[in-house]
Amino acid sequence: MRIEKYLSSIINKSRSEIKKDIKDGKISVNGTLIFKSINVDTEKDQVFYDGKIVEFQEHRYFLLNKPAGYICANYDRKHKTIFDLLDLNPNKYFSVGRLDKDTEGLLIITNDGEFSNSVLKPSKHVAKKYYIEVDKNIDFDIEKYNLPINIGDFVVKKYLFEYIGKNKCFLTIYEGKFHQVKRMMKHFNLNVIYLKRIEFGNLVLPENLKIGEWKEIDKKFKKHFAFLKLMLR
């Protein structure tokens, strides 16, 4: 197996990032630094990344209903992190993407770096659906709005609003720009006062998964990730 494929399946880095790390002398095999891609025998060869041995582990996937007040980081000295809620080793697991500190909802936790990097690629156009409450009533037909929305450093062209009532709506987006939902609502002079992610690709936040709770999910969900919704009950 090519070493960049092997490492990207274990650590949270893309194959292109691994290739750069190889050139930078961060990776060794059986005690010897390598500076170009090679094949490795995953059963026999010892691979080290930044001086630490990399060992294959079975890929596992968890769904967390993230509460507000926690940041999506493995470690932080000043803030509570999602790993304060999880009985998982933060050296081995990571979140697939991030939610803002004050945002609640669906978050995938895994040790599968290749899966994480794949679904986060902008070219994959993985849908992310949010429930939103804003600071005043939505007094226009937001569902019919389909013009590009300039959020400063990016123009959002593909999105879907669903009006619920008064100051509430759903929004589906296909990128993950910094504060994207909040900046999109600001375009309409609306300030987000509550934000919760309820869908990520084919995954739907279970109604019976309470805020702060988490559960392991079957890896079979990956096979259908881009094609259908898997309701987790």
**One domain, residues 111 and 213:** yes
Q: Which of 37-51, 64-78, 93-107, 216-230 has the lowest mean pLDDT?
A: 216-230
Is 92's pLDDT higher than 80?
Answer: yes
Q: How confident is the model at residue 225 (pLDDT cuts 50, 70, 90)?
A: low
Q: What is the tens place of the pLDDT at every residue in 37-65?
A: 999 998 789 999 998 888 877 889 999 99
**One domain, residues 195 and 133:** yes
Percentage above 70 pLDDT, the chain? 95
Q: Tell me the CATH number at 118.
A: 3.30.70.580
What does the pLDDT read at residue 32? Answer: 93
**One domain, residues 191 and 91:** no
**One domain, residues 194 and 218:** no
Q: Tell me the CATH number at 15.
A: 3.10.290.10
**One domain, residues 143 and 167:** yes
Over residues 67-92, mean pLDDT = 95
Provide the domain limits for residue 176.
127-200
Mark whether 100 is an active-site residue.
Answer: yes
Q: Tell me the CATH number at 188.
A: 3.30.70.1560
Is 184's pLDDT higher than 70?
Answer: yes
Ordered DSSP codes for 162-185: EEEETTEEEEEES---TTHHHHHH
Over residues 187-195, mean pLDDT = 98
**One domain, residues 167 and 222:** no
**One domain, residues 66 and 29:** no
**One domain, residues 172 and 117:** no
Q: What is the tens place of the pLDDT at every residue in 103-151?
A: 999 999 999 888 888 888 878 889 999 999 999 999 999 999 999 999 9
**One domain, residues 179 and 194:** yes
Domain count, the chain: 3
**One domain, residues 32 and 78:** no
Residue 67: how many CA atoms within 13 Å on its side-chain side? 13
**One domain, residues 140 and 189:** yes
**One domain, residues 137 and 182:** yes
Is 73's pLDDT higher than 80?
Answer: yes
- Average pLDDT over the chain, rounded to whole? 91
Is 87's pLDDT higher than 60?
Answer: yes
Is 231's pLDDT higher than 60?
Answer: no
Which alpha helices (DSSP H) does 178-217 contain, by range? 180-186
DSSP secondary structure letter of residue 5: H
Beta carbons of 71 and 101 less than 8 angstroms apart: yes
Of 21, 45, 100, 102, catalytic: 100
Over residues 200-226, mean pLDDT = 86
Rounded CA separation 72/64 (Å): 11
